[in-house]
Structure 1
Amino acid sequence: MHFRVLGPVEVAAEPVALGGRERLVLSMLLINADRVTSSERLIDTVWSSPPQSARQQLHNIIARLRRKLDATGALIVTRPLGYQLALTDHGLDLHEFRLSVLRGREHLHNEQYDDARIELDAALALWRGDALADLSGDWAVATRESLHRERVAAGEALAQAQLATHDHAGVLETVHALLAADPLHEGLHDLRLRALARSGRRTEALGAYQDLRRRLVAEFGVEPGQDLQETHSSLLREVDPPSASPRHVPRQLPRPISLVGRDELLAQLTEVLRTPEPSPGTVLLVGAGGIGKTSLAVALADRVQNGYPDGTLYAELDGTSRDPRDPDEIIDRFLRALGATAPPAHGRREERLALYRSAIANRRVLVVLDDALDERQVRDLLPPSPRSAAIVTSRHRLAGMADVLRRNVPTLSTEVAVDLLHAGRDVAELEPGLARSAVQLCGRLPLALMVVAARLASGVVDLSEVVDHLSEEHIRLDELAIGDVDVRASIALSYDGHLSEPAQRLLRRVAAASVTTWPAWFAGVLLEDDVALGSRALDELVDVHLVEPVGRDTAGQLRFTLHPLVATFAGERAVREEDASAGTSCRRAVAMAWLGLASQADDGLGHGMRPVTGPDGATVPAGLPPRRVTVAADRPAAWFDAEIDSIRDLVHALSRAGEVDLAAALALRSDGYLVVRGEEHVRAGLLRRAADCSDPVLRWGVLRSLFHTAAEAGRFSELVDLAQSQLAVARELEAGSMELSALVQFGCALRELGRFEDAAARFEEAASLATAHHDTTILALAHGHLGMMLARTGHPARGAELVAENVQAERVRGPSRRLSIWLITYAGCLALTGDVAAAERALDEAEQLAKSLEDRNVLLDLAQTRAAIALRADDVDRAERILDDSSAPCGPSAPDPEPTDAELRLRADVLLARGRATEAAPLLERALSRHRREGVRLELAHDLVRLAAVHAALGEQDRAQQQHSELVMLLRDLGIGIDDLQLPSVVSTVLPRH
């Protein structure tokens, strides 16, 4: 397949119908062929205002391109940050053009002029008009202009080869076509004058020079450049124009220092700046103070400066100082370095600028500008010729600079940062764990790491002392200073030098809020709910890299973060510049905002968990959602996915600050999401942080949820205490509905511990009180839990009847996670009665609900219930297939999930049925150990009966009999018989006989 972009975009010899967006995306991938084009860049180019579905739409565009161009997927490859068009055996006219130009220039340099003409003629013949001729938009216009400059440069080289072979008519024909599109290109005019003169048309050449001069003076107030003036002078003297003019070749670059961790970025940029003419224009390196921009720029310039034979110019612009350098001063320095005389200080700025542009117009120079303040300071210093290039560093984004290759300089990787600490030391001297701790405390910032490395190399401190000091936030920045290298001072240059007061205030308050990442609305909340002011202040902080964007989250929100050392600095300034209560106020404001959005998302999730409701009917506080932020209500699950880490940070910060009630409200409003996502560890951590809340209604809710987390984690020994504490709080509040709910949980705790009579008494007490209070919800719930117990202890028919009552009550309340769980419970009861068809119908209904909520835990429970039903029907193959499918990781990089006790038991049953009892034994021992520790006696009975069967199958009768005897005693204590366990035949048929 052969692609063409040097004209209308097309697939040669294989017409392919492409939509407008497909054509644009394909063009971007072709122009950047064999390199990754980021999704963000594609989205921002295709859509001027990207919709929330832009990423999915882009995915669909790529899928259509693959179907139309290469169904194998080998042409357009998905990469972690975007997409890559891999040419491999495919052709692209732009690549052919550039290769021919490269070979042509090599021949021209080696004075092989005929070969140069062949290659350059072939290169220009590939053009079919303007590049990307059928595309519009900013990207297409900018790319078309860049490719046009390459075309002009190739034509100029061809004309040089034609002039060298005395083909003066060819020179005039070539430059005439190019000057039509670029009428002020002095290099082309110089070739034209030479060709006219050498073909005996000297008078015409002199006239052409005067025409060009008049136009330059009239339109721009500048004289022609040095080369043209020298050509004109030779024409006046009636001598052949010189082939070259002697020039000063400045090499102003400071001595480069050794770099670590920048090899890949340095190699990429080196390749860019070594590309044949024309060069890419300007490479802009942006990033925070201390990130290593200057070192990278100098190292890059040192690598490529031999490709710029007319010199390397270097200037420090002092953009972060209180007195940035005047660009006119830099122009005067550059003019002197180039051998030109600078105009007097009182001369017009336009004259100075014109002289500078003329001095480098036809040269191939590299300009390095370090620490730029803004676009104004840089713009006039950039070389105007496409043959030259510039490297600029800045803490600012310089968003107003177009047609630049912008690269954010990142922090170092942990591995590279550890290597930097070893500078000048024996690697073995640094303990790896301590070294990694030091690296993390330095935020992997090169400047901070250099300070630590210097302190270690001095021998005054060892690594353990450094880590101890860095761990103390109030002295961390004191440790990161040595000599004139000071991290605090570096950050202060950005903070004090060019930030408005609102931006400074926002930075201090972001640090006080103690969240790792946050969305854009956060800024407005911190600045007294002033959205516009917050947006402007945030833009300022991002511009100087004190705040870093981290991309769009799963809900489509732009997110931001603070480097940890910037957060430390901002915390210091908050202590110095903020009122003592400001930190508390802003932390509470953002907590109320997140609580408001969490409440909206919680209400929209459909998990079906009963809200925490006090005796007066009030629920958990709803908070104050920020204005015009609707994403939590519109996309609740995606919003929680994006925000749960920030919520966790905030709950921890609130609990540390003593705002435990607010922490509890936020934890409870996140509870349903964490249950649906199966994040029990995170859930338990948040709840424990909020357990000491003073509000009794919130405390009751936290205890209720802690009960569920303990049950999910198999910590059954904790359940009775949690239920009794919950019951005590409810009675203290004299809240009937809360007391009834606590009674049901108390009964569940007793049931799990095998105290069936006590559990039944609690369920019946709750049912009786619910009847008296006309609380049909709690009545059905009490009956449902009682029925679950009866079904598991030998009374499946009665159990199924009671569970059905609660299923019906949940149906009345609407589709929810709770309904799916009770449907699974009901299916298990029905299967024990022998009504397998009804059980499967209940499971199908539950599966539909669980899939809509993407609830992996419920789906896992459902699959295990299906497997148990299959085993009861002796369908071992189906049971094993269900278990294998349900326990697969969620994604290619997801870890294998920890098997539940139910899965261990089911897999042991399958292995026993397969005659692989040896493999079944360790699974059952694993479950048995856990159940002994937690005192879960009914589960223990199921483990013992299966182990007895396993050892009987292995012929180990003594062990089998010993376990069977323990089982009999346990069942007697529980008040049930072995038949009440309702074992599948794979177990019951191999049990030892008395």
Structure 2
Amino acid sequence: MYFRLLGPVEVVAEPVALGGRERLVLAMLLINADRVTPSDRLIDTVWSRPPRSARQQLHNLIARLRRKLDAAGDLIVTRPLGYQLALAAHGLDLHSFRLSVLRGREQLQSEQYDDARGELGTALSLWRGDALADLSGDWAAATRESLHRERVAAGEALAQAQLATHDHAGVLETVQILLATDPLHEGLHDLRLRALSRSGRRTEALSAYQDLRRRLVDEFGVEPGPDLQETHCSLLRDLDPPLASPRHVPRQLPRPIALAGRDELLGRLTAVLRTPEPRPGTVLLVGAGGIGKTSLAVVLADRVQDEYPDGTLYAELDGTSREPRDPDEIIDRFLRALGATAPATHAGRAERLALYRSAIANRRVLVVLDDALDERQVRDLLPPSPRSAAIVTSRHRLAGLDDVLRRNVPTLSTEVAVELLQAGRDVTDPAPELAQSAVQLCGHLPLALMVVAARLASGVVDLAEVVEHLSEEHIRLDELAIGDGDVRASIALSYDGHLSAPAQRLLRRVAAVSVTTWPAWFAGVVLDDDVLVGSRALDELVDVHLVEPCGRDAAGQLRFTVHPLVAAFAGERAAREDDASAVAGCRRTAAMAWLGLASQADDAFGHGLRPVIGPDGATIPAGLPPPRVSVAAEQPAAWFDAEIDSIRDLVHALSRAGELDLAAALALRSDGYLVVRGETHVRAGLLRRVVDCSDLVLRWGVLRSLFHTAAEAGRFSELADLAQAQLDVARKLDAGAMEQNALVQLGCALRELGRFEEATARFEDASSGALARDDTMMAALARGHLGVLLARTGHPVRGAALVAENLQAERLRGPSRRLSIWLVTYADCLALTGDAAAAERALDEAEQLATSLVDRNVLLDVAQTRAAIALRADDIDRAERILDDSSAYGESTAPESEPTDGELRLRADLLLARGRAAEAAPLLERAVDRHRREGVRFELAHELARLTAVHAARGEQDRAGRQHAELVVLLRELGIGLDDLQLPPVVARIGGYDLLEISSE
């Protein structure tokens, strides 16, 4: 199939009837053949005011084109952002035209004039009138004008070949056709004068020059360009004008500097700008101030400017200043650089632009425009010829520019940034930790790193001093200024230059709230709940790269972030431009919004933690969720996944500001999520920050959660004090339910410490107090924990019955994490009674619940309990397989993560069962050290019994005896016997030694 655009849009094959919109879409896809044409661009071009159904209508248009052109569907391919027409074996007259022009130019340059005439004549013969002749609209008109310029340039090249072969009549015919559509094209007039002179019509040539000059002077107030004047002078001297007039070749680039860390990006862009004609058009480098756009543009232009023999034009547009450059001023400067006479000052924009386009149309030039403000400032300066290219830098996205290769310039990698810090210094191995800290504090920003490198090179400060000063947030930007390198001033250009007041206020409030990332709704909340104003302000900040988009988070929300140095700048401006009460109010408003959403997510999460309820029903504040934001309630787990880092930032900011009650509410509303995700380290860190909150109900909740974090981390020595503090708060509040809950936790702490009688008394106190209030659920909880104590100390049947009673009460609440935990506990008790089948059924149910909640901790407990059951049944292989498979559940984000007590014990039992007692010993000694340190005497008895067996198995009677003696004393203190430990068979008798016999010695 062959397509034609150089005239009416046609498909040369079987006749194909296309509607107007179908022809327009096909033309756009053909113009951009083998590249993706964005759907948004197609929609904006087809409809001046796109309807809501535009995307669906476009889909239908594409479907109709596929049916009419290519039933197989290989021609037009759907891509993520649009559609791609894959020419493959198909043909296109525009491609044929450009290929012939390329060959013709190469032949013309190598002086193969006859061949050049053939190729260029073939190229021009493909034209059937104006390109896209049957299409209307802005896109068609602009594209038609661009293609017309290619046609004129090809015609000029043909005329040059004809002149070189003395075909003067051919030159005059070719030029006359083209001048009819472009009457002021000086290159064509120059060729006409040469052809007239060489054919003996010098007088006619002189007259033609005077006619053109009068028109230029009368209509535009300018003289002909230097090339025409040179030809005219030759005619006046009755000399044969040279075959080609010498042209001015400007090379205006500033001196390039050495770049670090840009090799890959430079390589890709260099390849793009060196591609054969047609050139790629415009490369746009966008990014924040100080990111190194200008340096990158200059180095890139320097690398490729040899590909543009007619010159390199460079202009600083000062888009970030208060007085950006007028494009007309730049046009005048470029005209002078090209050797053309600049127009008179009273000349209009259209006249000036026509002269510039004429002067540059037939040249192969590279235009570099630095620091552009907007599309208007850039558009008219871009070279019109497909033989030329442009490099533009801007802090703005310039989304209105079409056919642009847009690249965001990133910050530097840590490795490259560290190298940059050493620039100019006579050092070979700086302290890596200090260098990395400096890079982090500079936010990997090239300008900041260059300032620090210059300060270090001066020898006035060393790296340790620089890091110390940069760590002080209130003076950080003071340290990042030297000479004309000033990070604060660079950011201020964007902030003060062209931002609206709401955008400036939003940036200051981002700094006040101190969150690393935030969703789109945040802008509206902190700008007085005005969603529209917030959205526009956010767009402004993104456009100038003071705020950067992070993509969509786990909940599907668009997220944004701010560079740390921009945040420091915004914090300075907030301190200068906002009073303290406004900053505090903004922080509270944002916190209440996050708290509102966290409350919705917490209620919907299903973790099963008992709610914090004080006297008279007082609960954790619910906050004020932003309107029309429903994601937290609809996707609670995904919402917490996306927002937990922001919540942590906000809790830290609130605690620093003394807003401990609000911080505590936010921490407690996130507590259930952190429990389920196994984020014990993060959870404990948040809770410790807010434990001194003034609201007693909140403090009770914080203490309760801290108790659980300490238990999960194995810090059993802290449990009793935390539970007692919780009990004291409850009694101050005179809240019975809170007091009984604290008594249960105190009983658990005493149970872990081996103080069984005291623990039993606390459980019974809690149970009787709850029954007096007719709180059967709390009573069941207390009796359930008493059951755990009984089951573990030699009374599994009685214990299992009490745990079953509490399990039944938990079932009344519905599926939850608490239910899964108690199912595991019940399975453990059943296993001790010998009912392994019932224990496995309970574990199956627990695993199903924990899987639905993605609860790593409970899944790990399920696996370890299954392994213990298998060990009791002497199924060693199954126990080992289960324990190995459970390692994925034990992954933790805590930096001090280590195996749990249960895992250490199981691993030791497996090694004993395999006859590898020597390998089991260090695991048990590790557990013994931990339990001695924490005062967990009951668990210590278990490990001492195992160590006794290990030493006995290895024939180390003396060590076995010492361990046994310590075990006997400990069991007496606990008030239990060796049988009450209910050790697995592999421990009770291994290696021919009977642990009971050792006990009797």
1:888/1:896 contact within 8 Å kept: no
- Separation in structure 2 between the aligned mates of residue 318 and residue 682 of structure 1, nearest angstrom: 47
1:150/1:278 contact within 8 Å kept: no
2:856/2:889 contact within 8 Å kept: no
Does residue 102 of structure 2 align to residue 157 of structure 1?
A: yes
- Structure 2 CA distance for partners of 1:407 and 1:363, relative to 1, 3 Å: same
**CA displacement, residues 705-756 of structure 1 (integer Å, 9 cap, x when unaligned):** 0000010011111111111111111111111111111111111111111111
- Structure 2 CA distance for partners of 1:747 and 1:389, relative to 1, 3 Å: same
Does residue 387 of structure 2 align to residue 387 of structure 1?
A: yes
Q: Which runs of 5+ in 2 are unaligned?
A: 6-25, 45-69, 132-146, 201-240
**CA displacement, residues 898-921 of structure 1 (integer Å, 9 cap, x when unaligned):** 311100110111111111111111
Residue 366 of structure 2: aligned partner: 366
Residue type of the partner of 2:189?
Q
Residue type of the partner of 1:176?
S
Residue 741 of structure 1: aligned partner: 741
Residue 488 of structure 1: aligned partner: 488
- Structure 2 CA distance for partners of 1:890 and 1:508, relative to 1, 3 Å: same
Residue 729 of structure 1: aligned partner: 729
Residue 67 of structure 2: aligned partner: none
Where 1:363 maps in the other structure, the secondary structure is: coil
- Structure 2 CA distance for partners of 1:883 and 1:332, relative to 1, 3 Å: same
1:159/1:175 contact within 8 Å kept: no
Residue 172 of structure 1: aligned partner: 121
After superposition, residues 505-544 of structure 1 pair within 5 angstroms as 505-544=505-544
Residue 232 of structure 1: aligned partner: 192
2:100/2:122 contact within 8 Å kept: no
1:463 is displaced (CA, Å) by 2.7
- Separation in structure 1 between the aligned mates of residue 899 and residue 890 of structure 2, nearest angstrom: 14
1:780/1:805 contact within 8 Å kept: yes
CA RMSD of aligned residues (A): 3.4
Where 1:919 maps in the other structure, the secondary structure is: helix
- Separation in structure 1 between the aligned mates of residue 40 and residue 597 of structure 2, nearest angstrom: 28
Equivalent residue in structure 1 for 2:152, among 186, 192, 208:
186
Residue 179 of structure 2: aligned partner: 213
1:889/1:895 contact within 8 Å kept: no
- Separation in structure 2 between the aligned mates of residue 467 and residue 197 of structure 1, nearest angstrom: 70
- Separation in structure 2 between the aligned mates of residue 170 and residue 431 of structure 1, nearest angstrom: 65
1:412/1:445 contact within 8 Å kept: yes
- Separation in structure 2 between the aligned mates of residue 914 and residue 365 of structure 1, nearest angstrom: 79
Where 2:508 maps in the other structure, the secondary structure is: helix
- Separation in structure 1 between the aligned mates of residue 632 and residue 749 of structure 2, nearest angstrom: 35
2:120/2:155 contact within 8 Å kept: no
1:552 is displaced (CA, Å) by 1.8
- Structure 2 CA distance for partners of 1:263 and 1:171, relative to 1, 3 Å: closer
Does residue 437 of structure 2 align to residue 437 of structure 1?
A: yes
Residue type of the partner of 1:696?
L
After superposition, residues 437-516 of structure 1 pair within 5 angstroms as 437-516=437-516
- Structure 2 CA distance for partners of 1:137 and 1:810, relative to 1, 3 Å: closer
Residue type of the partner of 1:285?
L
Residue type of the partner of 2:790?
L
- Structure 2 CA distance for partners of 1:427 and 1:42, relative to 1, 3 Å: farther
Where 2:369 maps in the other structure, the secondary structure is: strand
- Structure 2 CA distance for partners of 1:44 and 1:781, relative to 1, 3 Å: farther
**CA displacement, residues 304-324 of structure 1 (integer Å, 9 cap, x when unaligned):** 111111111101111111111
Residue 930 of structure 2: aligned partner: 930
1:214 is displaced (CA, Å) by 2.9
Instruction: Pick which of 442-451 and 952-961 moved more.
Output: 442-451
After superposition, residues 961-980 of structure 1 pair within 5 angstroms as 961-980=961-980
After superposition, residues 301-340 of structure 1 pair within 5 angstroms as 301-340=301-340
- Structure 2 CA distance for partners of 1:143 and 1:595, relative to 1, 3 Å: farther
1:484 is displaced (CA, Å) by 2.7
Where 1:721 maps in the other structure, the secondary structure is: helix
**CA displacement, residues 956-981 of structure 1 (integer Å, 9 cap, x when unaligned):** 11111211221122112111111111
Instruction: Pick which of 378-387 and 477-486 moved more.
Output: 477-486
- Separation in structure 1 between the aligned mates of residue 157 and residue 403 of structure 2, nearest angstrom: 28
Residue type of the partner of 1:157?
L
Q: What TM-score, normalized by structure 2, do the two folds share?
A: 0.83
Instruction: Pick which of 535-544 and 188-197 moved more.
Output: 188-197
Does residue 426 of structure 2 align to residue 426 of structure 1?
A: yes
Residue type of the partner of 1:702?
V
1:384 is displaced (CA, Å) by 1.3
- Separation in structure 2 between the aligned mates of residue 276 and residue 981 of structure 1, nearest angstrom: 83
1:629 is displaced (CA, Å) by 1.2
- Separation in structure 1 between the aligned mates of residue 909 and residue 119 of structure 2, nearest angstrom: 89
1:468 is displaced (CA, Å) by 2.5
1:955 is displaced (CA, Å) by 1.2
Instruction: Pick which of 809-818 and 423-432 moved more.
Output: 423-432
- Separation in structure 1 between the aligned mates of residue 115 and residue 732 of structure 2, nearest angstrom: 107
Where 1:581 maps in the other structure, the secondary structure is: helix
1:751/1:759 contact within 8 Å kept: yes
- Structure 2 CA distance for partners of 1:151 and 1:455, relative to 1, 3 Å: farther
- Structure 2 CA distance for partners of 1:448 and 1:388, relative to 1, 3 Å: same
Residue type of the partner of 1:442?
C
- Structure 2 CA distance for partners of 1:465 and 1:968, relative to 1, 3 Å: same
2:4/2:94 contact within 8 Å kept: no
After superposition, residues 521-920 of structure 1 pair within 5 angstroms as 521-888=521-888, 898-920=898-920
Residue 14 of structure 1: aligned partner: none
1:730/1:738 contact within 8 Å kept: yes
- Separation in structure 1 between the aligned mates of residue 853 and residue 889 of structure 2, nearest angstrom: 18
- Structure 2 CA distance for partners of 1:330 and 1:444, relative to 1, 3 Å: same
Residue 266 of structure 1: aligned partner: 266
- Separation in structure 2 between the aligned mates of residue 462 and residue 271 of structure 1, nearest angstrom: 41
Instruction: Pick which of 145-154 and 871-880 moved more.
Output: 145-154
Q: Which runs of 5+ in 1 are unaligned?
A: 8-23, 49-126, 218-222
- Structure 2 CA distance for partners of 1:537 and 1:720, relative to 1, 3 Å: same
**CA displacement, residues 215-247 of structure 1 (integer Å, 9 cap, x when unaligned):** 346xxxxx23x4333333344345599875432
- Structure 2 CA distance for partners of 1:894 and 1:979, relative to 1, 3 Å: closer
- Structure 2 CA distance for partners of 1:571 and 1:171, relative to 1, 3 Å: closer
Residue type of the partner of 1:942?
H
Q: What TM-score, normalized by structure 1, do the two folds share?
A: 0.84
1:47 is displaced (CA, Å) by 12
Residue type of the partner of 1:704?
R
- Separation in structure 2 between the aligned mates of residue 690 and residue 740 of structure 1, nearest angstrom: 23
- Separation in structure 2 between the aligned mates of residue 147 and residue 395 of structure 1, nearest angstrom: 38
Does residue 381 of structure 2 align to residue 409 of structure 1?
A: no
Instruction: Pick which of 431-440 and 535-544 moved more.
Output: 431-440
Name the % identity: 73
**CA displacement, residues 241-262 of structure 1 (integer Å, 9 cap, x when unaligned):** 9875432111100011111222
